[in-house]
Structure formats: C-alpha cells, structure tokens
Chains A and B, each alone.
Chain A
C-alpha cells in the first residue's frame, strides 16, 4: 500500500466520523427547539396559582388548569392500571412460549396494535363505550389510552425477560421449584427494573395523547372525579385553548404545554436513572 492510499483512507475515516457526529447533533436540534420555544412562551405564566386554580369562565382573564392536571393523572392512572397487569402477563407469555405458533400470531397482533393511529383507537372507544353509555366519560378515555400503552408494556416485559439467562431459570427448576413460582419469584423480580422503565415510558407516552380523548373523555370546565362523567386533561385543554381565538387562552396553552413537558421529561429521566442505577 502506498502512502497516497493510506492518506486517503485516513481522510475518509475522518470524514465519516464528522458525518456521524454532525447528523446525531442535527437529530437533537428539533427537541431543543421545541423545549426552548415552549419554555420561552409558557414558563412565565406557570406559577402555583396557575396549577392550583380552576379555569375562569369564558371571556374572563386568568384562571388555572387544576381540573385538567387532576384529570390527566386520573385518566392516565386508570389506563396504567388496566394496561400494566395485562401487558406484563402477555409479555411473560411471549417470552416463555416462544416455540408456539400462537405466540407468533400474538406477536404480530401486538405489533399491529402499536401501529394503529391513536385517533382510530379513540373512535373504537367511542363506538364501544361512549355510544352505549350515551355520554362522554373519563373511563372511555382511560380504556382508549390503555390500548396505546399495552403494546409498550408487553414489549418491554418480553425484552427484559428474554435477557434473563436461562441458567438462572434452570437453577430454580433443578431445585424442584414449581413453574408459577419461578415466574413470580425469579423472572419478575429479576426483570422488575426493566419492566418499571418500560411502564414509565408508556405512561409518559400516553400523558401527551390528545386524539383518543377528543371523543371519549372529551373535557370538562369543572373539576370532576367521577369516571363515568366527562373529564378534562392537559393535552385536551391545550388543544382547545390553542385553537381558540383568545390571546389569554393561547398563553395558557403554552403554560400548560410547559407543565406537560416537565412532567413527561421528569418521568422519562427518572426511568432512565432507575435503569442505570439498578441494572444487574
């Protein structure tokens, strides 16, 4: 190899490196722009009063979004209560019975469910729950959101359980431990951190969903704790306020966006932190 080829190779190596760094940098720019833009427009309106007071009647200036914050936590909480146990059980099934044909089918269906647009899930929840009950309700929103969260919990559970070495399971089998106790006492504790991280990422994902709530939980000017009545949520409130003609509501939409972004980012970062700290 002559000197010229070597020089050209070194140059090419450098060029590739520069491209890799450049594009990875470009990909994070949108995120920073979004956070920057929302914070600049919204942060100044965020204060305790905004968080803890109710919306003012239309036309009046001021007021807060307490009902939407409470509503978001209730609706997402109920959705998580539905999606987590079912998701973990299906995840265990997918990782434990890999050879079965039925497993392949379930896997494809889970992938498909993940790909269904959230507004379609909203329509389904509308047809199944809102129409028969003849009213918008928080529970119908929770059910729609749980459909979105379900594949995320299933996949993270399955992936985590697949990482547990077969030797650990065999050790338990070799001591005559019954199968259900191997799942409960060995597999789930060993995978708990990964399952928790997946769950948190699922929760932060559905916290921001708006489309499935448009014709399910709908929205509510008042603080409502009844799951069978319409309930407000932060993303729905942002949607309504941002598309309104009022300047004050636009500002409040940005403030609400700021709060939503802070909640979602904190949950995500907490999940990552747990993963690093407790990973075995």
Chain B
C-alpha cells in the first residue's frame, strides 16, 4: 500500500510570460524513489524547484495551483520552513568553500543559527555521513575543507548536508550529471539505500538511471506530464506514444 506524501494539483509555472509547466497533477509516494524523466527543457528542474520554493527566487517567476505536503499547502507556509522540510541536492556539487567537511554537514544548523551541543553535532555529522556512504572515507579528515574532496565525494557530502536537516523529502536535481561512471554508480546505490529513511524525487534525463534506481517514473515533455506509473511497467509497456519514442531514443 502506497502512502501519498506530496500531492501536486493543477500546477502551472511561469518565467515571465513563458509557461514552463502546464497543468501538472502528480502524487509522490512515501519512502519511494520517483524519477522525473524527460529531455532538456521539459520543466523537470522547474518542477522540483517549485516543490521547495526555490523557483520563486528567479526574477519574474510565479506559479498557479497547489502543492500539498501531507495535506498542508506549501505555499501557505514560510518558504524557509518549507526548505528545511524538503532538502535538495544540485547538479554541480556545491559544498560551502569556506567550511570544513564537519561544518558543511551541519551547515543547515549553523547558517540558520540553530544551537546544538557538541554531542548532538557529532552525532548528526556521523549519522549523516554514514547514511551518505562517506563516513569511512572522511572520518580522519573531518576538519579539512570540503572542497578538497573529489567530485563524487563532494556530491555525497552535499547529500549528507541535506540529510542532516532530517528532511521529509529529498530532491535530487541530476545529481550525477557532473560525475564519472564510478562515482555515479556509488550515488545510484546510495539513492536506493536511502529509500528506507527518506522519500526521494530524482530529476534525470538518463533513462538507464531512472530504470536502475526508481520505483515510479513521471515522464515530462515540453512542460506537460505525459505519463506516470511504476517504472518497471512504464519501461516495458509505455501507455503513451511519446513515452515510447523517448524510451527507444526516437525523440530526446
């Protein structure tokens, strides 16, 4: 039985006069990995930036419709609180360059001015780094700058940083597009592993990655949700002609 954690209702998103998402209706299930799949410019990134309300920071950006987190309208809550409940990892690894690995993990607390005891900090850092599979590689160097790590390690540090805030949903915006195949497969295993503790929404245009890691897939094309369903079903018997054309590489 699937539990709906996030419900997107009649969502339209704009940049100025340009409409980038057209009447999207989508449900995200708890503790599952949902892939937002589609070619460049289909509105994938815009969709997840609407979910954590980063979209509205761009000049001229606005939305219509509703996004409900456990029944609560995200657009009726302070954006800062929304963003603490919904973590995000970006395309390019972006650890804070002035901070150590340790501080990067608890950056969300430091930057928001939330006071923690030494024990609490140590615990959050260790737990988050274990969850992101980075602990064994960095436990000796916690007080070195995060920017000395390799790209793949930096990305896992960013995942740890997002997990440290104990989010209800983790948004991953093409997290492996800047990484080599080895680092990519480590992150993909990590995404599957994380299902136990967090709901994940993964944006990718990599069909193979969607197939490998996700339970559900939403296929977008030019701002419209074309098809949504179980990944295994969609990848074997797509309902829509467009989905099939994308999956076999005819469009993209």
Contacts and interface: CB of A to CB of B under 8 A. Distances in A.
A178 B80 contact: yes
B98 A176 contact: no
A170 B82 contact: no
Contact of B161 (A173, A175, A186): A175
Contact of A177 (B90, B98, B111): B111
B81 A176 contact: yes
B96 interface: yes
Nearest to A179: B80
B165 to A, nearest CB: 6
Interface in B74-130: 79-84, 87-88, 90, 92, 94-98, 107-108, 110-113
A190 B79 CA distance: 25
A178 B79 CA distance: 10
A177 B112 contact: yes
Contacts of B57: 170, 173
Interface in A166-186: 167-168, 170-178, 181-182, 185-186
A182 B113 CA distance: 11
B52 interface: yes
Interface residues of B, number: 30
Given A173-B54, A174-B88, A177-B112, A168 B96 contact: yes
Contacts of B83: 173-176
B97 A168 contact: yes
Contacts of A177: 80, 108, 111-112
A99 B59 contact: yes
A168 to B, nearest CB: 6
Contacts of B95: 171
Contacts of B84: 175-176
Most B CB contacts (10 A, CB to CB) among A165, A170, A175, A185 go to A175
B10 interface: no
Contacts of A165: 92, 94
A185 B94 contact: no
Nearest to B109: A175
B54 A185 contact: no
B158 interface: yes
B197 interface: no
A178 B113 CA distance: 9
A157 B88 CA distance: 29
Given A99-B59, A170-B54, A280-B147, A175 B94 contact: no
B179 to A, nearest CB: 15
Contact of A171 (B59, B110, B112, B158): B158
Given A174-B52, A177-B80, A190-B98, A167 B111 contact: no
A34 B84 CA distance: 60
A180 B165 CA distance: 20
A259 to B, nearest CB: 37
A170 B94 contact: yes
A211 to B, nearest CB: 40
A189 interface: yes
Contacts of A181: 111-113
A167 B108 contact: no
Contact of B96 (A99, A171, A176): A171
Most B CB contacts (10 A, CB to CB) among A172, A182, A189 go to A172
Contacts of B92: 165, 167
A154 B107 CA distance: 29
A176 B83 CA distance: 5
Contacts of B162: 174-175
B110 to A, nearest CB: 7
A171 B83 CA distance: 10
B111 A186 contact: yes
A177 B52 CA distance: 13
Nearest to B97: A280
Given A174-B52, A174-B54, A280-B98, 7 more contacts: A167-B90, A170-B57, A175-B107, A176-B108, A177-B111, A178-B112, A186-B111
5 contacts: A173-B57, A176-B84, A186-B96, A186-B111, A280-B98
Q: Give the top 4 A-B pairs by smallest Cβ distance, nearest first.
A: A176-B83, A176-B84, A175-B108, A167-B94
